Amino acid sequence: MLQNDNKARKRCELAGTHRGSAKERNMKTNIQIPLRIGNPPADLREWVDEQLLVKLALDAVQTLDWPAAATDRNELRPQMMLTLLSYCYAAGIYGSADIAATLRSDRVLHYICARAYPDGRELRHFRRQNRERLQHCLAYIFKEAWELRFEEAGIDPLGCAWFETELNQNVAAAIQERIELAMLMDGVESD
């Protein structure tokens, strides 16, 4: 535990909260650490490639506990539906009818659905019934994407109070915005 605290302190020091030695100051200026996290793009595929976004959506769903229930073969699996909506919302596709219309032609969505193609009504219903799970999955995806962006820059700010606070605020805002956009799009589609 003490070793982890020292690592977190060192990351914060390199993020500009410590004067340190000349070597550390040079490291700071060479890295050019962004001091603000900012908002994610509307399409997270600007930050991570398509395959990685699918993997993050699949991984996010696996972090949830699911009740052991026998499902009918014709029934849509909740894990698939959650993966589909999580991926689509992270990729900037919000309308349930838009998602349903592209399931068979988009190779990624086709892969996620595995030959079970929900319609717009089923997607809207699932979103309403599983909002908390969807929020959990989107939070996982956004946090992982942000962490990967910092890793690419050679920065590991985890454990720094400013990072955790700002990350949680931005994740919550991004999730709220995407779910509201989906609800808005679904309201327009049903008219």
**For 107-155, how does the pLDDT look when each residue is reduced to its tens digit (9 = 90+)?**
999 999 988 899 999 999 999 999 999 999 999 999 999 888 877 767 7
Question: Which residues, 6 or more positions from 42, have their beta carbon under 8 angstroms from its beta carbon?
Answer: 92
Question: Residue 163: pLDDT band by 50, 70, 90 thresholds?
Answer: confident
- The whole-number pLDDT of residue 138 equals 96
Q: Are 37 and 166 in contact (CB under 8 A)?
A: yes
CA angle 64, 105, 108 (to 5 degrees): 35
Q: Assess whether pLDDT exceeds 50 at residue 179.
A: yes
Q: Considering only residues 96 and 167, tell me which one the structure prediction assigns the higher pLDDT.
A: 96
- The whole-number pLDDT of residue 188 equals 73
Cα–Cα distances in angstroms (integers) from residue 81 to residues 29, 30, 37, 57, 180, in the given order: 45, 44, 30, 11, 18
**For 70-90, how does the pLDDT look when each residue is reduced to its tens digit (9 = 90+)?**
444 445 689 999 999 999 999
- The whole-number pLDDT of residue 108 equals 95
